[in-house]
A and B are shown apart, each in its own frame.
Chain A
Amino acid sequence: MCLLGVGFEPANPQSGGQYHHQWTAGLPIPQPIVTLTIPNTGYTTQYLRCFEIATLADIASAPDWDRCINPGCPFPDGWNAEGKVRISWSDNGAGGTFGTLDSFGNFVPLDPIADAQRITHYRASPNNPGVVHITLVVDDEGLLYDDPPVSNDPSNGNFTVWEFWITPCPKNWRPKLDEDLSFAAWIEPTTDHKGNPMVGTIIFLLSSSNQPGHCLNDCRLGSTGQWAWDGTTGCHDDVQFLPEQPNLLVFPRDQTPEGVGYNYDTAMSSWATNMAMVAVRCLDYGGWAYLRGYVTGFFGEGAARRIDAQDLFVADIPVDENENHIADWWEDFRDPPSRDPLSDDDFTPRGDGTLGDGLSLYEEYRGLMVRGVWQDFDPKEKDMFVMNFGAGNEDPYEPAVILNDAITSQDGFPGAGVPGEGGKGFWLLNANEGELRWVQHPEEGFWMPGKIVNFLHGYAHLRDVYAAVVVPSEDDQPELAWTLGPIWDGGLVPVIEINVTEAKNWGRLWGIDELPSLTMVIGHELGHTVLWDVDHNPADDSQSFGGDGGHHVIGQDGRVGQHTIHCLMWPYFPPRICPSGFVLCEVLCPQRGEHWIWQDGEPVAPRNVNEWTVFRPTEFCSADPGCQNLWHLNP
């Protein structure tokens, strides 16, 4: 430090004269002894976690003793001490940072050489665990003899920087029933600076959602096995540890009265270990969970740090950065108009412009069982559900009274452009894939049964969504078929009662076979469920054309309504020679401007009878070709 080994100073303050010292090294500068202590405690430590801060200290002798060999030196036997100064710090490439704490206790990085004297603390590397040796080089102040700098011995300043990592959830994963995910948590380094294995007890804790069932309309009620308790209530976790896992002890939070454990939310390594793998099982298509790992060992304890995001100490399942409990991957894939889990902004088909189909974004994501197969939904497409109570049964076999084709055929409702092109968004469910809900008719007072498809809802539920229910009947009423209410509102229920025999035979007059006839009747009734309020439309001019409530001869912009023989909701079946030889006439054919005339109680056949042809409906309503502009699900 100081270049001079000779100096002048008052040898004796009382003598008043000058004395010339001739300093020798005397004793070498005491080697520093570097220790680390836990800040504000005084406890020494040999283990630092990544990014952890320790107080540095040199506990070796503070002064450097030099000796004056000139006779008459006033110092006792010529010995005098001078201070040591720290001239450099190094962690030898371990990636840590030297510094000090400011008055607020915040770590302030400093240059390990230029600011060596000011350095009081060490912050371990954020991501480079391993064995570390701190080297401290000290020198004397150089006021007396200028000793060469010395550094601490390899036997001190040694410690281990450790970290406890946990893997994240795969980014392209979304919750699915009975899918397992594995997570690893491990300690680095594997051995410490003394050669001891870095092992500890690793504990995993799972904090999960608990939606009822495993999707909007299904649960394991009545099943057997480990997860049979996954019923209609929300008292079970949607993500749990597998109960039996190698090298882990897994504990349930609860037990059934029969002693069966459930809600397995804690897993612990069976013995001290350096690494543990844990498997979690997803029990809900909309489930989410937070997995945390903890370790406790001789080196310390703490929560596992995410290997991919080192400022995070929890693995979110699934990956959900906007924390709306919807997997980011699914949101990116579906690209919804809004990412608000409660949003309901489906916009296709446009219909009357009303957005939504009643299912929230989260519910579209969580999905429901469609004829035994789980299905999620496009948040841009309006969805509509229908059930067929005349579909028969597979086992034991029972023939269908109403073939599913009569509902799903492109000749009927789906093919008429509703809800979406080619029936996209139109879902036929099994009869048991909904929950019965009794609704009292607001005016008549009688009770009507409806079927809710999202009855196992929990988080982000907007409203109950009803399936249109098609029920076969042999009642004297309805004469052909009727619809009790619209699809969208709990005030009435979209139940369609079909007099099957009548509906099958209805088209026979026009040479239409049973299935197409039934298809048209059902399609027409399904149309009512999405056009329920048309009669309340002031532009509806149907009465002037002899139309009746709900049969849609729609006026656009106040114009008299238009209708065509292609229209599902106002199908014209023109006169023709029917199989029995009877001449049938129709009321009018607006396209031709022909009217059937009733005179003096006798019918007058229209002109050009032979030109009239039977058409099956190919579009939904008559306001314009292929129109869907009145249809809505979620007013």
Chain B
Amino acid sequence: MVGLRQVGLTIVVLWFGSSMALSSPPGGRFLSLPRADREATERLKEAYAAYVQGQYQRAIHLALGVYERFGDVEARWYPQWVLRLGGKDLPDPYDRGAVLGATIEGKFPFPLTMAMKSTFPSYLLARCYAALKDTKGFVQWAKRLRGLGFEQDDITRTYLLPHPSGEKLSVMPPKEAWRPLPLKFREEDYFILVPLDQACTVLGLGCTIQPNLKMAGGKGIRVTKPDAPNIVYRLFLGRPVVERLESGRGHTETLAYAPYEEGGVVWVPFYWLAKQAGIKGWEVRNGKIYVAPR
């Protein structure tokens, strides 16, 4: 069975990877997908957050719901942390040129093209099924993507890439064995955010937060893992990136939600901390974060 799935995935890889190895025909080809209404946007935002946070089944449920009701509509939005920084100066997220222009104009402290979020059902569905190694679902939605004109999508790569921590059904312990964390949290744009200092204590990570005007965001935020003391992660307030320092060399990764500070508390997306802490699965249940045993 596994072998057949592999063959199925291979087919799609061939299809996409061959003639469209690299992208960008002259002029680019924007997909002119219908614009999601408020309700669809909200569902897609939630589905996106679920996908990023490893809740693939929930993401599929939500995205499928939107697809069945509205078809492939595209939602484009600014996360709350962006709205707090950009306020009224932010361009219409559906105006790609304006978003690109604001980035190039440097009006925003960070490339707006990286801070703005966008998705549509097929896009999420293909990725979720790939993450779940569900070949049938994956092929179905990857074909749909291609039918839409997403010819250059290399979605199959997702299958091979490390994905965010979260549920992995085949290896996940029963949820009865999951335990709640003594950790307060808040939810923004369906992302679970936790106070960094508390979370580090609970998760066994090392954290330092110090004022540092030489760092973007004004604070030097470092996270270390006890089993890898030579690796330091640097977080930046208001920047959806994390820098991994190893042996003096930096390596930048993107974050789906930027850390921010409020009332002296630094809020960080839990999914990233959970990944660093080696947590294989987690979910919010009854007002608490439950994590799978390591």
List residues of A whose CB falls within 8 A of some B CB. Answer: 389-390, 392-393, 395-401, 431-432, 436, 438, 444, 446-449, 451, 469, 471-486, 492, 495-497, 500-502, 505-506, 508-509, 520-521, 524-525, 528, 532, 535, 546-551, 570-573, 578-587, 596, 598, 601-603
Contact = CB atoms under 8 A, between A and B. Distances in A.
14 contacts: A400-B252, A401-B252, A471-B113, A476-B120, A479-B150, A481-B24, A509-B160, A525-B24, A546-B18, A548-B19, A582-B9, A582-B160, A584-B10, A586-B18
A580 B13 CA distance: 13
A436 B101 contact: yes
Q: Which 5 pairs from chain A and chain B are nearest by CB?
A: A449-B101, A482-B24, A587-B18, A398-B216, A549-B25
A32 B124 CA distance: 114
Nearest to B113: A473
B110 to A, nearest CB: 8
Contact of A528 (B24, B153, B218, B240): B24
Interface stretch (B92-100, B168-176, B178-186, B285-293): B92-100
B120 to A, nearest CB: 7
Which of A399, A480, A506, A524 has its CB near the most chain B CB atoms (within 10 A)? A399
B31 A477 contact: yes
B22 A520 contact: yes
B27 interface: yes
A401 B24 contact: no
A616 to B, nearest CB: 13
A480 B152 contact: yes
Nearest to B9: A582
| Residue among B7, B21, B106, B239 with most chain A CB within 10 A | B21
A578 B216 contact: no
Nearest to B156: A509
Nearest to B10: A582
A393 B100 contact: no
A596 to B, nearest CB: 7
A55 to B, nearest CB: 73
Interface in B6-43: 6-7, 9-11, 13-14, 17-31
Nearest to A580: B160
Given A532-B26, A578-B160, A397 B214 contact: yes
B23 A479 contact: yes
A587 B161 contact: no
Given A397-B216, A399-B252, A444-B30, 17 more contacts: A389-B103, A401-B254, A436-B105, A449-B97, A451-B104, A472-B111, A476-B74, A479-B23, A479-B155, A509-B17, A520-B22, A535-B26, A551-B22, A580-B159, A582-B6, A582-B13, A587-B18
B152 to A, nearest CB: 5
Interface in B204-227: 213-218
B199 interface: no
B216 A396 contact: yes
Q: At the interface, is chain A mostly helix, strand, loop or mixed?
A: loop
Contacts of A482: 23-25, 28-29
Contacts of B111: 389-390, 401, 471-473
B236 interface: yes
Given A401-B241, A447-B97, A485-B27, A548 B21 contact: no
Nearest to A474: B114
A517 to B, nearest CB: 10
Nearest to A392: B252
B104 A585 contact: no
B100 A448 contact: yes
B203 interface: no
B61 interface: no
B165 interface: no
Contact of B103 (A471, A492, A583): A471
Given A389-B111, A396-B216, A586-B18, A478 B152 contact: yes
A87 B189 CA distance: 112
A474 B254 contact: yes
A61 to B, nearest CB: 91
B279 interface: no
Given A508-B157, A548-B19, A584-B14, A449 B214 contact: no
A501 B27 contact: no
Nearest to B123: A476
B154 interface: yes
A606 to B, nearest CB: 11
A525 B21 CA distance: 12
B243 interface: yes
Interface in B137-163: 150-155, 157, 159-161
Nearest to B116: A475
B117 interface: yes
A501 B19 contact: no
A310 B160 CA distance: 80
A547 to B, nearest CB: 7
